[in-house]
Amino acid sequence: MNKDLFLKAAPILNQIQAHGFEAYYIGGSVRDYLMDRPIHDIDITTSASPDEIETIFEHTIPIGKEHGTINVVYQNENYEVTTYRAEGEYKDHRRPDEVFFVRDLYKDVERRDFTMNAIAMDTDFKIRDYFGGYEDIKQKRIVTVGPAEERFTEDALRILRGLRFKSQLGFDIEARTFKAMQHRVADTAYLSIERIIVELTKLLEGKDVAHVYPLMLDLHFFDYVPFFKNYKMSQIKICEPISLELMLAVMMYQQPESHGTLKALKISNEMKKSVQIYCDIFEKLETHSDKRSLRLLVYDYGLPKLSYLLSMQETLNANQIALGHPLIMNQATIKEIYNDLVISKRSDIAINGKIILETLNRKGGPWLKEMLRDIECAIINHELQNEQSEIINWVKANV
Ligand code: ATP
Ligand code: MG
């Protein structure tokens, strides 16, 4: 098991303890450590208040101080140190109305979502496991801390998180926990879309997503999520881990009649652009997939997106999206095409709009954009050399 990250963070816990407080590793890192999975970041939980943490450490950032979280910067790494917390009433199924800082570890782990996420571990790698989380990890089961129905009623995001963990870890969801998911799924409608997107993205990329997706359909989960609720999700097939962007593109391409604007998902413009690019590629490949158009495709959209699509053929086929004949459209061919590209972007063309206007003694207009595109295509397809005099002759011959 990989202890490196814990050993690196140990001085922080030691320092907190030296000031008379408790400190433990907690949450995902402990769970992943006990499962012998790679650990990405370490969370620390402590009896010290945020103010006390700020006095103990020289370099801190109050990233979520009102919720008890202070970032401690130590040896150029950021560590989230969160004060033991208990939560007040939940009125809107998404956030407690208030949080209280407490000095008792039990109170802190009691409010956590699943037993496997509620295990605290000290610097000697000894665990404090009040809810049998380690046994549940060994039995590969997802169980809420305390009564599932109550826990999901408090915060419906836990339903999605449970599904997300199943997808990532391949665990089973314990029967009572799943029943409560069925009862409370409608509360998902109260959640902020940002929180849903974070979990959904991880869920879709999980190794077990092909088994989790049918469960989500069973639960009618998507009926409560903006955008998704406009689509017939049972017609969408997910056979393997998939990026959120690609899933959205598949939905939009397969069901263009379903309207919904991506704006409702509050995803970044970059993500929206990716979705659009995937849709464009699907459309182009549907109409023509000869070597000529493939060259343009590789030039226009680059290797990573096309290569990713090729790796997702099973899911695309299941959704009736064809990428063209495998003899033409395959990983080796697109790599070869990419390596042979004469130019890689428009500014590589040995001419520009200004020179064309001067040569032809014409006024600009939409025709110029079209002409530049024609030049670009001709160069990409080796019908025209990327040399200014050649291009000028070609332009004169083609007006
Ligand atoms: P990952 O490895 O993906 O980061 P994680 O378990 O660390 O998984 P986080 O979202 O980072 O998940 O949350 C850290 C910890 O905070 C969880 O392990 C859990 O104990 C607690 N937690 C997070 N979200 C909730 C929630 N909605 N309700 C209760 N506890 C939660
Ligand atoms: Mg985490």
Q: Which amino acid is at 79?
A: Y
User: Ligand 1 in contact with 112 (CB < 6 A)?
Assistant: yes
- Dihedral sign (CA 348, 350, 354, 356): negative
Taking the centre of ligand 2 as the mean of its atom positions, its distance from the CA of residue 94, in whole angstroms, is 19
CA distance 278 to 319: 14
Residue of 117, 129, 191 best suited for mutating to test ligand 1, as the one with most atoms within 8 Å of CB: 117
Q: Which residue is closest in CA terms to ligand 1's atom 24?
A: 113
Q: Which ligand is nearest to the CA of 113?
A: 1
CA distance 326 to 191: 43
Residue of 37, 87, 112, 184 best suited for mutating to test ligand 1, as the one with most atoms within 8 Å of CB: 112
Q: Which residue is closest in CA terms to ligand 1's atom 8?
A: 28
Q: Which residue is closest in CA terms to ligand 1's atom 28?
A: 113
- pTM assigned to the model: 0.93
Q: Is residue 70 classed exposed, middle or buried when 0-12, 13-18 and 19+ CB atoms within 10 A define those classes?
A: buried
The conformation of residue 174, written as its DSSP 8-state character, comes to P
The conformation of residue 144, written as its DSSP 8-state character, comes to B
CA distance 313 to 323: 8
Cα 256 to chain centroid distance, Å, stands at 24
User: Ligand 1 in contact with 199 (CB < 6 A)?
Assistant: no
Q: In 3D, which of 294, 252, 302 has the Cα closest to residue 272? A: 252
- How far does the chain reach from its first CA to its final CA, in angstroms? 69
Q: Which amino acid is at 322?
A: A
User: Ligand 1 in contact with 27 (CB < 6 A)?
Assistant: yes
User: Ligand 1 in contact with 117 (CB < 6 A)?
Assistant: yes
pLDDT tens, position by position, for the chain (399 residues)?
789 999 999 999 999 999 999 999 999 999 999 999 999 999 999 999 999 999 999 999 999 999 999 999 999 999 999 999 998 888 888 878 788 999 999 999 999 999 999 999 999 999 999 999 999 999 999 999 999 999 999 999 999 999 999 999 999 999 999 999 999 999 999 999 999 999 999 999 999 999 999 999 999 999 999 999 999 999 999 999 999 999 999 999 999 998 778 999 999 999 999 999 999 999 998 887 788 889 999 999 999 999 999 999 999 999 999 988 888 889 999 999 999 999 999 999 999 999 999 998 999 999 999 999 999 999 999 999 999 999 999 999 987
Q: Which ligand is nearest to the CA of 94?
A: 1
User: Ligand 1 in contact with 141 (CB < 6 A)?
Assistant: no
Which residues line ion ligand 2, judged by CB < 5 Å?
Answer: 28
DSSP codes of every residue in 196-234: HHHHHHHHHTSTTHHHHHHHHHHHTGGGGSTTGGGS-GG
How would you classify the pairing of strands 43-46 and 77-83? Answer: parallel
